[in-house]
């Protein structure tokens, strides 16, 4: 656990690294923009003094509203409850007991199941549909998410062509002035240690010019792409994200940026990054502290596990890592439902399990209150010693206060045994089947928009 003093020390250390060590920025336009902001430049290596960093942090908004397809679908980043997003981008899917390549049908099923969730407000990229030609995947996946749910979605940004598609599709949805308010969130990654790649830098510049939000995320791996200590790893993470924030504000002041950190430690016996760990959860909490110190909305935590099936290990680790982010007050948790195998495998069973976990965490974090009605002193006095509360009016008023799980087992042992002794995974499979059967696509898109979407995305 990091104290406030620790967080401040990490922040100061990162500022020192930016000024004394610098970062590699693999794009000439970006280097020129940073030089104009007061950075010292040699080739593509950029040294940032503290002044430009503080100016950028003052310009970046501490909160913003991502406009949805209806006011009820607006999402607030920086104020209010955590925005939970689905699994995003693995190439593999757990299908029964088999791990196989992702398909477009999996993207569609994730959208259907998440659409019926009261906890999930944001659709991640779901799954890489390897059964679709590579040059069509982004458009077809986007079409599936847009037509099967009206929740905000992750806009894919791996290449300039992806952003061309994002702009064109948003124009179909909203018209030429679609970018007058934040509507389309992309996720861009830094490259540890201390690099901003040319491709992601170009994408950040383009999106910032449109005033659209980017979640700039560092995934520094302690011992391989960062120091072997959590604090040192966070220094590298923090320096990378701060450099990207300066760049976004250099191209357009006030451009919304979400500070993203999903750093972890590598297992130095194997060199592999491990995510379902106490260190990941602790660094997620520290990431929230660092972003709050900078006045930025923050992405931290995930329902991540190193387990390969949705078993006890998977849920133990997900409870730790999702809970770490939510309890710390993360504004955004992408990969918040449906993740297995260190972000490499998607699972619908795990998605509904994580959905239930998120509901319990939200209920835990909801202020319980201790006003006169909740303290119930008068009720205690009326009932008195050795009395019973079941028939009291106060009990009837509060009978529905507690969270009621959608499919977790709450029956007595005998009833559970009589029903076949179903375990959590079997119950989750039943819940997935129910949601897929009950899903009804949204009807808010008019016929013209639907036709134009189909013509563009399915060509």
Residue 210: pLDDT over 90: yes
The pLDDT assigned to 404 comes to 81
Token digits of residue 398: 């509060």
Between the alpha carbon of residue 253 and those of residues 148, 179, 257, the distances in Å are: 35, 15, 11
Is it true that the peptide bond before 193 is cis, omega within 30 degrees of 0? yes
Segment 166-194, tens digit of pLDDT:
999 999 999 999 999 999 999 999 999 99
The pLDDT assigned to 80 comes to 87
Structurally, at CATH architecture level, domain 58-365 sits in Alpha-Beta Barrel (3.20)
Segment 143-169, tens digit of pLDDT:
999 999 999 999 999 999 999 999 999
Q: What is the dihedral of CA 278, 124, 351, 405, to 10 degrees?
A: 90
* pLDDT cut 90: percent of the chain above it: 92
The pLDDT assigned to 269 comes to 87
pLDDT band at 399 (very low <50, low <70, confident <90, very high): confident
Structure-token match 């240690």, residue found: 193
What average pLDDT does range 394-421 have in this prediction?
Answer: 88
Segment 255-288, tens digit of pLDDT:
999 999 999 999 988 888 899 999 999 999 999 9
DSSP string, 65-83: EE--SSGGG-EEESSSSPE
Segment 225-261, tens digit of pLDDT:
999 999 999 999 999 999 999 999 999 999 999 999 9
C-alpha span between 455 and 459 (Å, rounded): 6
C-alpha span between 350 and 362 (Å, rounded): 18
Q: Where are the domains of the chain?
A: 58-365
The pLDDT assigned to 410 comes to 85
pLDDT band at 196 (very low <50, low <70, confident <90, very high): very high
Residue 384: pLDDT over 90: yes
pTM: 0.95
Q: How many helices (H) and strands (E) does the chain have?
A: 17, 21
Q: What is the 3-state secondary structure (H, E, C) of 328-388?
A: HCCCEECCCCCEECCCCEECHHHHHHHHHHHHHHHHHHCCCCCCHHHHCHHHHHHHCCCCC
Distance of CA 130 to the CA centre of its chain: 23
Segment 338-382, tens digit of pLDDT:
999 999 999 999 999 999 999 999 999 999 899 999 999 999 999
Segment 2-59, tens digit of pLDDT:
999 999 999 999 999 999 999 999 999 999 999 999 999 999 999 999 999 999 999 9
The pLDDT assigned to 403 comes to 79
Phi, psi (5° rounding) for residue 91? -90, -10
The pLDDT assigned to 296 comes to 98
Residue 419: pLDDT over 90: no
Token digits of residue 228: 């072997």
C-alpha span between 393 and 369 (Å, rounded): 19
């Amino acid at each position: 656990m990091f104290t406030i003093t620790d967080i401040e020390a990490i922040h100061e250390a990162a500022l020192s690294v930016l000024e004394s060590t610098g970062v590699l920025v693999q794009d000439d336009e970006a280097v020129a923009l940073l030089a104009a902001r007061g950075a010292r430049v040699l080739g593509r290596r950029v040294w940032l003094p503290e002044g430009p960093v503080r100016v950028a942090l003052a310009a970046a908004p501490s909160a913003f509203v991502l406009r949805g397809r209806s006011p009820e679908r607006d999402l607030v980043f920086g104020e209010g409850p955590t925005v939970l997003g689905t699994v995003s981008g693995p190439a593999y899917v757990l299908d029964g007991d088999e791990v196989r390549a992702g398909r477009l049908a999996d993207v569609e099923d994730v959208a259907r199941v998440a659409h019926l969730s009261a906890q999930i407000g944001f659709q991640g990229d779901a799954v890489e549909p390897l059964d679709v030609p590579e040059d069509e995947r982004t458009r077809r996946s986007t079409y599936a998410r847009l037509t099967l749910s009206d929740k905000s979605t992750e806009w894919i940004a791996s290449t300039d062509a992806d952003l061309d598609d994002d702009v064109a599709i948003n124009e179909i949805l909203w018209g030429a002035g679609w970018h007058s308010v934040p509507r389309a969130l992309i996720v861009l990654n830094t490259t540890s240690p201390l690099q901003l790649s040319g491709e992601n830098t170009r994408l950040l510049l383009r999106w910032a010019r449109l005033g659209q939000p980017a979640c700039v995320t560092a995934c520094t791996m302690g011992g391989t792409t960062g120091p072997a200590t959590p604090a040192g790893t966070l220094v590298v993470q923090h320096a990378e994200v701060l450099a990207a924030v300066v760049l976004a504000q250099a191209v357009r002041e006030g451009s919304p940026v979400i500070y993203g950190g999903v750093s972890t430690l590598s297992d130095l016996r194997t060199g592999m990054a491990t995510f379902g760990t106490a260190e990941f959860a602790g660094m997620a909490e520290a990431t929230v502290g660092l972003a709050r110190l900078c006045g930025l909305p923050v992405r931290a935590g995930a329902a991540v596990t190193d387990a390969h099936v949705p078993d006890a290990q998977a849920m133990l680790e997900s409870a730790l890592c999702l809970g770490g982010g939510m309890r710390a007050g993360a504004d955004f948790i992408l990969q918040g439902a449906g993740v297995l195998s260190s972000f490499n495998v998607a699972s619908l069973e795990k998605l509904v399990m994580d959905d239930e976990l998120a509901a319990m965490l939200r209920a835990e974090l909801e202020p319980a209150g201790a006003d006169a009605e909740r303290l119930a002193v008068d009720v205690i006095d009326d009932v008195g010693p050795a009395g019973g509360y079941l028939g009291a009016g106060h009990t009837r008023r509060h009978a529905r206060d507690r969270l009621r799980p959608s499919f977790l087992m709450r029956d007595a042992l005998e009833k559970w045994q009589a029903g076949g002794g179903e375990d959590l995974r079997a119950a989750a499979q039943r819940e997935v089947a129910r949601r897929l059967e009950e899903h009804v696509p949204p009807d808010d898109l008019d016929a013209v928009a639907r036709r134009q979407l189909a013509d563009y995305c399915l060509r």
